[in-house]
Chain A
Amino acid sequence: MESGSELVAYWLLTVSVALAFSLGYYAYISIKRKFDEEYSGASLLPKRLIHGVVYMIFLVLLHEAVKLRLGSSPLEVLMLLAVAAIGIPLLVDIVVTSYRLLRGHK
């Protein structure tokens, strides 16, 4: 039988993963909307790709920035989770955009 504190930890982890998923999904939708609104027309895909790469590097820098301040701590796991939550949809968008660019879409 699991102890009460372990249950709370599992519950917190589940909530965090769910939050990360929601955060990632809405971040992806919001970024995609911004791309499509700002860069309509011929240069949409190349600019979207560049923007995606820029945001990915920002996430790496964000992780490094937090790590420099907090050092290695349990909070780093949460930080990685948040970074991954935004980074994975962005990565998917970069891959999809690259594929569409290679296939000759505009």
Chain B
Amino acid sequence: MTPFTTFTLILVVIVLLLVAEIEHRAVVAILAAVLSAYFGISYGLFKPADIIEMMNVDTVLFITGVLILFESISRSGLFDVVGMSLARLIGPRPRALVYALIALTTLFSGISSNVTVMLVMGNITLRLAALAGVEAEELVILECLQTNVGGLLLPLSSVPALIVSTKTGLGFADFLRVTGPLILMLTALALFYSTRVMTSGEAGGAAWKRDSLRAHVVNSTALYRSTAIFAAFLTAASMSDLIGLNLTLITFIFVTATFLLSSLDPDEVFRSVDWGIPFFVGGFFVFVGGLERSGVLDAVSSAIAPLLGMPEVLAAPLLLLMCALISAFIDNIPVVLLLYPIVKGVAETTGLRALPLYWAMIIGSNLGGNLTTFASPSVLIGVRFLERRGMRVTMGEFLKKGAPLAIMQILLSMIYVASLTALNLL
């Protein structure tokens, strides 16, 4: 067999395993890496020493550091405090409360892991919805969708954004300039949608007063210090070019500061980090390197090039839609890891500007997970969260309550990306 055939077979196996979700995604990525390394070395495509370079250790370490920081900020109880303080401020006004919860979920997802935000906001929502007389199930579904919208806020807000930004050098300012207005529009759409679909009864004013609405803060020292350190991290990361330090180094400086100063238990933080993500990304990078060197990605790029062989103003939204549709069925991390070199190759061969395509990829892969209950971890967690509390959300119900908003948000994003591309703002 030729290296091309062997690596095509490996690609088929990995895509099948990811689509069917037969094995844990990190295990699939490690399998992909092991097969790629064995065959790549045996065919002479690369040497064992090249594997470290292929693994993009810098990106993997950056993701690991961000996950640790996200976990520490979540464990500090900040989200609970902000959520409950806002609820006290708003009072038992259902409509305002729904808007606040949706907006907070979006904002928190920009600075923490979507899954953690979903769990924290899900708990807050159930507590407040019962007191304010709001339909909790529909609100939690909307929050699930908004976690993926919030994932567009910063380069570190979601793993696809992290991967593309470290590869392309897109910084905090680029994200705030491009995705900031889009997030505002998508959130406004979600708020409008919530007024159309959500049912609310009379607010339970008496119950509201009786409830203390106290946040679950275990350690107030940890809360203040972690919040301060995290805010300093965001500032330093956004000015990494000015400081002249690598983002990974900055991240680990603040990871160290968090452990030394915040009084959080490092063991607890380490236990809660989703270690599957760095293993998945590292393993998949080796696999993608193998596909590149065996010529498989070139072949896929050539096949896709005619599809995108049109003006950028059409190619970018089309790619966004394509990413969204694929991400509706497969985890968005492998989608981006596989598509990034392909899109780069297509841009090089067709002469298209790569940046609009990269933005389309980031946005499409984030929003696509909202189309089904199983593709995005935060939607999946949100649905399971409701199920554990006796509110079963079937795929049909989700398609009825959540998917219309997801489709509208994807369409709006396509128009947005096409407009910015046409105006040469990307």
* A residues in contact (CB < 8 Å) with B: 38, 46-47, 50-51, 53-54, 57-58, 60-61, 64-65, 68-69
A51–B16 alpha-carbon span in the complex (Å): 8
B39 pairs with A65, CB closer than 8 A: yes
B13 within 8 A of A: yes
Q: List 12 A-B contacts (CB under 8 A).
A: A46-B20, A47-B20, A50-B17, A50-B20, A51-B22, A54-B17, A60-B9, A61-B10, A61-B13, A64-B39, A65-B39, A68-B43
* B residues in contact (CB < 8 Å) with A: 1, 6, 9-10, 12-13, 16-17, 19-20, 22, 35, 38-39, 42-43
A68–B43 alpha-carbon span in the complex (Å): 8
Smallest Cβ distance from B262 to chain A, in angstroms?
A: 41
Given A50-B16, A50-B22, residue A61 in contact with residue B9 (CB < 8 A) = yes
A60–B13 alpha-carbon span in the complex (Å): 11
Instruction: Kindly identify which residue among B6, B19, B20 contacts A64, using a CB–CB cutoff of 8 Å.
Output: B6
Given A57-B9, A69-B42, residue A51 in contact with residue B35 (CB < 8 A) = no
Residue of B nearest to A49 (CB): B20
A68 pairs with B42, CB closer than 8 A: yes
Residue of A nearest to B17 (CB): A54
A61–B3 alpha-carbon span in the complex (Å): 11
Residue of B nearest to A63 (CB): B1
A38–B24 alpha-carbon span in the complex (Å): 13
In the A-B complex, list the 5 residue pairs whose CB atoms are closest, starting with the nearest: A50-B20, A68-B42, A57-B13, A50-B16, A57-B9
A54–B6 alpha-carbon span in the complex (Å): 14
A64 pairs with B22, CB closer than 8 A: no
A46–B19 alpha-carbon span in the complex (Å): 11
A33–B215 alpha-carbon span in the complex (Å): 48
Contacts of B13 in A (CB 8 A): 54, 57-58, 61
Assuming A53-B16, A57-B9, what are 4 further A-B pairs, CB within 8 angstroms?
A57-B12, A61-B9, A61-B13, A68-B42
Contacts of A47 in B (CB 8 A): 20, 22
A64–B3 alpha-carbon span in the complex (Å): 10
Instruction: Kindly identify which residue among B6, B20, B42, B43 contacts A51, using a CB–CB cutoff of 8 Å.
Output: B20
Contacts of A60 in B (CB 8 A): 9
Residue of B nearest to A65 (CB): B38
Instruction: Kindly identify which residue among A50, A53, A58, A61 contacts B6, using a CB–CB cutoff of 8 Å.
Output: A61
Contacts of B17 in A (CB 8 A): 50, 54
B16 pairs with A54, CB closer than 8 A: yes
Smallest Cβ distance from A64 to chain B, in angstroms?
A: 5
Smallest Cβ distance from A50 to chain B, in angstroms?
A: 4
Smallest Cβ distance from B303 to chain A, in angstroms?
A: 21
Contacts of A68 in B (CB 8 A): 39, 42-43
A63–B10 alpha-carbon span in the complex (Å): 14
Contacts of B12 in A (CB 8 A): 57
Smallest Cβ distance from B334 to chain A, in angstroms?
A: 16
A53–B6 alpha-carbon span in the complex (Å): 15
Contacts of B16 in A (CB 8 A): 50, 53-54
Contacts of A46 in B (CB 8 A): 20
Residue of B nearest to A60 (CB): B9
A76–B6 alpha-carbon span in the complex (Å): 18
Contacts of A38 in B (CB 8 A): 22
A65–B42 alpha-carbon span in the complex (Å): 8
Contacts of B22 in A (CB 8 A): 38, 47, 50-51, 54
A29–B234 alpha-carbon span in the complex (Å): 55
Smallest Cβ distance from A88 to chain B, in angstroms?
A: 19
A68–B20 alpha-carbon span in the complex (Å): 30
A68–B10 alpha-carbon span in the complex (Å): 16
A67–B13 alpha-carbon span in the complex (Å): 20
Smallest Cβ distance from A103 to chain B, in angstroms?
A: 21
Residue of B nearest to A43 (CB): B20
Contacts of B9 in A (CB 8 A): 57, 60-61
Smallest Cβ distance from A21 to chain B, in angstroms?
A: 27
Given A50-B22, A53-B16, A54-B13, residue A61 in contact with residue B43 (CB < 8 A) = no
Contacts of B42 in A (CB 8 A): 65, 68-69
A6–B6 alpha-carbon span in the complex (Å): 38
Contacts of B38 in A (CB 8 A): 65
A53–B15 alpha-carbon span in the complex (Å): 12
A54–B11 alpha-carbon span in the complex (Å): 11
Smallest Cβ distance from B38 to chain A, in angstroms?
A: 6
Contacts of A53 in B (CB 8 A): 16
Smallest Cβ distance from B329 to chain A, in angstroms?
A: 13
Contacts of B35 in A (CB 8 A): 61
A38–B39 alpha-carbon span in the complex (Å): 30
Smallest Cβ distance from B253 to chain A, in angstroms?
A: 43
Smallest Cβ distance from A66 to chain B, in angstroms?
A: 11
A50 pairs with B43, CB closer than 8 A: no
A99–B334 alpha-carbon span in the complex (Å): 32
